[in-house]
Each structure stands twice: as C-alpha cells, then as structure tokens.
Amino acid sequence: VKVANECFGQNQVEATIFSYLDEERFNAIPAEPTLRQAYGAIKWLINYQEGMFERMDEECMSRITSQTSSYRGHQVFLAPGKHVIKTQTCFSWAGCIILANPSQETLETDYGMIEEMEKTSLFHVKSPSADCPDEVTAIKSCAVAVVDPFSTGAVLAFELSQLGYKIYAVYSSNLDQLSNLQNLVPQGLSLSFDKVVPFDSNIATLAAKLTDSPLVTLSAVLAGAETGVELADQLSELLGLRSNGTNHSEERRNKFAMGEAVRHAGLRAVKQVKSESIDEIEKWIHEEIKPQQDDFKVIVKPMDSAGSEGVTLCRSVDEVRAAFDSILGKVNNLGLLNKAVLVQEYLEGQEYVVDMVSRDGQHKVVAVWAYDRRAANGAGFVCFGQRLLTVQDEPQVAAIINYQRKVVDALGIRHGPTHGEVKWCRGEPVLVEVGARCHGGDG
C-alpha cells in the first residue's frame, strides 16, 4: 500500500473499498497505472542458511534504515531462537524491505546492496553443531497436534511453536459448526500452523494425515478446546501417544455421565436427571428434589456446553419448562445439538475453580480460583471476576483440592490439563463439572 501510493497515488485496498462503496471515486481511478511519481519495490529477504536464528545484524539494519534513501519500512518474519530453513518459497521468506525512490538508479543500487547483505551478513544464524545434534534434530523433527486450537488452545499452540515444535491444527467438526469458537483467539496473538487437518469422520484417515511425513515425529495430540477432547483422546490412543484413552471419554464430555461416574466412585455428586421429556423431568423434580413452594430451585442446562451457556436457575415449574424449551433441539455455542436436557439440584455456596495438570496420574494444582458469579442482564450466573487463592487463604481449599484429585481419577484422567468447577455446599465439596482441557480464555 505504501509503495503503491508513493509511486502511483493509489492502492488496491482503497480501490477495493471504492468498488463497493464509492462509484465516483472508483471511476476516477485509471484503468492502469500510467503516471509514475516514483520507482518502487519490495525486497523479499532471502535466507541462505539453516539453523537457529539469533538476530538481524545491527550494523546492516542501521545502514538500510538510516543511510538508504529508498527505505520506507520493513518486516522480519523470523523469530529469535527458532529454527529456520533456507528460503525456497514464500513460506520461508525471512522478511521484506519496502523501497521507493524518484531515481530508478538509486532504487536499484539500494536493492542490490540489500541482496549482497543477505548473502553475507544480514542474518545471524547459528549453524547446526556437531556437538549438539540431538537438540537440532528435536527442533526440526517434532510436531504437536492441537485439536480445535481456539481460546487457550490457541495460546497453547503459540507457546509450543515458540519452543520449536511444528504445530498441526486438527478440527473436530466442519468449521461452519465451530464458527462460534473461531473468534475465540486472544487478541494480539499471531498464530500460524505447519499443517491444517480438516475434519474427517474416519479417525484412521486423520491419524494417517498427522503422520504422513517421514521427517517429522508427532510428539503429542492435545485438546485445544472443549470440543476437541474426544477426538484428542481417540487420536492419541490410536497413535500410541500419551493418552487418557477412550474408555472414559463420554464421562469427560457428557455432564450427566460425568456426575454418575463421580457418584459411582463414592464421592459426593449432584442429584440429576437427563431427559428429552419435560413430563419425566417434572416427575423427577417432585420425587427427588421435593421443593417447597417458597424454596423451589433447580438448575437446567445443556448436557454438552461450556462457559455457562444455557445454565438457568429455575424457581418454578413454569421456568423449568421455559428453560427446557430454550435448550432442547438447539445447537449450542460449541456447535453441538442439544439432544437432551440436564436438570440438577441447586448447590448453595461459593463456587471454586481447580486448574490442574497431570502426568502418569500425578495431579498437580497450578491454580485455585474463587468465582464472583452474580445475576446480571437477565442471566443468573454472570462471572464478574475471580480471585486467585492459595491453600492457606481459606480452610476449605485443601479439602476441595483433595476432592478434585479423586474426581479426576474417577474420570480416568491421567495426563494433561483439567479445569474443574466445584461448589462448597453445606460443608463439603461437590463437583459442578470438569473439562479435560485448559482454563478457557487464555489459561
């Protein structure tokens, strides 16, 4: 844009806008550029070395930016500490220098000078050393697949890329079904993928696409978002990687099955029922919850959702019916069809979050939070904020952590992150739900 404006007084971006929104200004644009005001070029930077990129040469860059009359701007595409390869395609450019000058001769001289710098001193790249072949091999040849790299999954993919891993993006559904999640990438995060594997209902086909390069070793398959948990389990198990397996995948994603697994393990679990019938739900409420006229409280929610979507505190049978109708048969924000409705007892008390990471069944707590949930804008459980706690801050925190470790065991989670929500209800912890993925947002 900058070069085109200086050379011809117009650019493609503005012309595109005019073509849709301003017929008069569009008509004023020449059919082709005929009047030159300056000479312009973009010098794509060619890297001739392979190894670990350290930095751009300060002296060369100072000469380009301060002493070259054609210089108009630049970008560097290489990241310090990251393995780089020799430029062969547009995907391996090292960067670009934007040039413009009234004198064609001066422009060409500056262009040629930069080209000579590329070959000799512009880039500081540490060549693979015979003393540390394992380090270079690991950086070059290892990849991690992230299933649905949205929300904190995007941050996970970015951080893995900074460590030198190739990043494979895998999608658990067609992208139109994941449209609500595609915007959940933290602002300012620049993310690119070495391979994108679109959804395929054949798990073996997906696995083959992830392992089709003989020069790359797939190191792990991780769930980036809630929607990716089941597929990550399936792929990691099939490929023989570190995996929670598929035996308890249903319990890790379906809130009703989750609660029943916790109950079966002998832990306090919420009273609940799932059904496609409002009559069955009403019967269960009267027989199991036995609400009093002035103390009617039950929770109605989708069975597979996240972020408190569709979670409603109902204070009457009429409200239960309305919530039921608003959930059943609708597609939720995870792109999943609500085939049944979950109704649970209302748990009085403070809600906490326990964020853990596990390896081989060893569960480490990385954070405990206390939610500040309140009613707002017609919703009953708006999260205004959350406070970070230590075990010493509140007497019940230790009991909540101990309980949550048993919950994670009951759900067959031996590896990876978990994001658990627990209520402290009448003197004991009770699971609200747990996701086998990182805390949403950005972790």
Comparing 60-64, 199-203, 306-310, 342-346, which segment has the lowest mean pLDDT? 306-310
In a 13 Å sphere around the CA of 225, the CA atoms on its Cβ side amount to 27
Confidence (pLDDT) at 378: 72
User: When comparing pLDDT for 174 and 208, which is higher?
Assistant: 208
Q: How far is 50 from 138, CA to CA, in rounded Å?
A: 15
Q: Are 126 and 80 in contact (CB under 8 A)?
A: no
Residue-wise pLDDT for 421-442, tens only, equals: 999 999 999 999 999 988 876 5
Render 283-334 in DSSP notation, one character per residue: HHIIIII--BTTB--EEEEESS--TTTT-EEE-SHHHHHHHHHHHTT-B-TT
Within 10 Å of residue 427's Cβ, how many Cβ atoms? 8
Render 68-127 in DSSP notation, one character per residue: -TTEEEEEE---TTSEE----SGGG--EEEEEEES-HHHHHHHHHHHHHHHHHTSEEEEP
Residue-wise pLDDT for 169-181, tens only, equals: 999 987 665 554 4
User: For residue 261, what are its two tokens?
Assistant: 């697994």
Q: What's the chain's average pLDDT?
A: 84
What average pLDDT does range 394-401 have in this prediction?
A: 93
Q: Are 217 and 142 in contact (CB under 8 A)?
A: yes
Instruction: Say which residues have a Cβ less than 8 Å from residue 46's Cβ, sequence separation at least 6.
Output: 87, 93, 94, 115, 118
Helix spans in 131-274 (H): 133-141, 152-162, 179-182, 203-210, 229-238, 249-253, 255-264
Portion of the chain with pLDDT greater than 90, in percent: 40
Q: How far is 97 from 76, CA to CA, in rounded Å?
A: 9
Q: Which helix (DSSP H) or strand (DSSP E) does residue 60 occupy?
A: helix 58-67
Res 309 pLDDT > 80: no
Strand 312-314 with 217-223, pairing: unpaired
Single-letter code of the amino acid located at 191: L
Q: Which helix (DSSP H) or strand (DSSP E) does residue 191 occupy?
A: none
Q: How far is 340 from 303, CA to CA, in rounded Å?
A: 7
In a 13 Å sphere around the CA of 170, the CA atoms on its Cβ side amount to 34
pLDDT band at 161; cut points 50, 70, 90: confident
Q: Are 99 and 73 in contact (CB under 8 A)?
A: no
Q: How far is 263 from 266, CA to CA, in rounded Å?
A: 5
User: For residue 340, what are its two tokens?
Assistant: 């049944």
Strand 341-345 with 298-302, pairing: antiparallel
User: When comparing pLDDT for 333 and 250, which is higher?
Assistant: 250
pLDDT band at 98; cut points 50, 70, 90: confident
Confidence (pLDDT) at 243: 93
Q: How far is 113 from 117, CA to CA, in rounded Å?
A: 6
What average pLDDT does range 26-45 have in this prediction?
A: 77
Residue-wise pLDDT for 55-71, tens only, equals: 999 999 999 999 999 99
- Block residue for tokens 């007892």: 345
